[in-house]
A and B are shown apart, each in its own frame.
Chain A
């Protein structure tokens, strides 16, 4: 968190609407990404992203600048919101029933967000949460372990398993495309 952001948060805590607007500009894409990979329905993703900022106006008074980074605090609020609305991510069995686009990726080619979201839907809920947290949101394995309520060792093993599964799926899709 840089000086400008600290200053913005301080001003927002005092009710400065302009500071809130600036924080919205900075963090809206991050919050949107959080919900994008966890919620299937795109309308809900937009509603949740918007609702999160309304929640921030209510909760910002409790945020301590010397505590956890603001981004992590937003992730915590976002996860709470997700739980409240009972929109926890679907599991593989449910995800497979959806009309899904094909994975437009090969083992070494870049992927777009839609394909990645589809790819993640093949994982178990905890594994999906881990991959999002570690690789997309760039959080530490310790925080990811807390999020899924597992020990750090267990988290590392699950992480390895999740990456193996994803690698396998990408390889299979690549082979199918080539055939």
Chain B
């Protein structure tokens, strides 16, 4: 470390000590070899640090506070006005013919969306014998229609067949349909590549 930098660091530490309330004399005791050089600077620093703060004029402080309070009151009024405007506009929207139509349309769409999604979720979990099972079959057939690649289509078809056989077996196990009917359906089904095994 260069001597000047060394001294600058010592001075910085001394100023920290001065900030924490130590007297210049006690600080100089920490650095006896630098005391001669440090003393005048510390004295100057102490004079500056102990200078009383400028007293703000009372009128200025009162005026500033009054201005602040006015500003806050204005802000409060503004926010209340804005809230009232939003509520008014919402209310007006409901009473206008055009606004009412949009709200009803959005509401109907939301209801349809909720009904359809719950229907599809229920159908996806259904088994033969359930009123939702035809919907599940229709969904599977529709997905199959969307596949254009013939190889992929064949694989998907096999997978669907395997799934339907699994559904039938589960339905027999749970006694949801008569076993004879299920066996007849299984026999009538087109033969996939490997029956009763996953593709």
* Complex interface residues of chain A between 124 and 162 (CB less than 8 A to chain B): 131, 134-136, 138, 140-141, 153, 156-157, 159-160
Give the tally of cross-chain contacts (CB within 8 A).
128
CB distance from A20 to the nearest CB of B (A): 6
Interface centre among B60, B65, B68 (most CB of A within 10 A): B68
B5 and A111 contact, CB distance less than 8 A:
no
Q: How many Å lie between the Cα of A117 and that of B61 in the bound state?
A: 21
B11 and A160 contact, CB distance less than 8 A:
yes
Q: Kindly state whether residue B72 has any CB partner on chain A within 8 Å.
A: yes
Considering only CB atoms, which chain A residue lies closest to B63 in the complex? Answer: A50
The tally of residues in B whose CB lies under 8 Å from a CB in A reads 40
* Chain B residues, CB < 8 A from A141: 12, 15-16
Q: Kindly state whether residue B163 has any CB partner on chain A within 8 Å.
A: no
- Grouping DSSP codes into helix (H, G, I), strand (E, B) and loop, the A interface class, with mixed when no group exceeds half, is helix
* Chain A residues, CB < 8 A from B11: 156, 159-160, 163
A116 and B48 contact, CB distance less than 8 A:
yes
Q: Which of B16, B55, B69 contacts A21 (CB 8 A)?
A: B69
A112 and B52 contact, CB distance less than 8 A:
yes
B56 and A32 contact, CB distance less than 8 A:
yes
Given A20-B72, A24-B64, A156-B5, A33 contacting B54 (CB threshold 8 A) = yes
A residues within 8 Å of B by Cβ? 15, 17, 20-21, 24-25, 28-29, 32-33, 36-37, 46, 49-50, 53-54, 57, 105, 107-114, 116-117, 131, 134-136, 138, 140-141, 153, 156-157, 159-160, 163-164, 166-167, 170-171
Closest 9 CB pairs of A and B: A50-B64, A113-B54, A156-B8, A32-B56, A46-B60, A167-B44, A163-B41, A135-B48, A36-B54
In the complex, 21 of the A-B residue pairs with CB atoms within 8 angstroms, ordered by the A residue number, are A15-B76, A17-B72, A21-B68, A21-B69, A25-B65, A29-B56, A32-B60, A37-B54, A50-B67, A57-B71, A105-B47, A111-B51, A113-B53, A113-B54, A116-B48, A131-B48, A135-B45, A138-B19, A156-B9, A159-B11, A170-B44
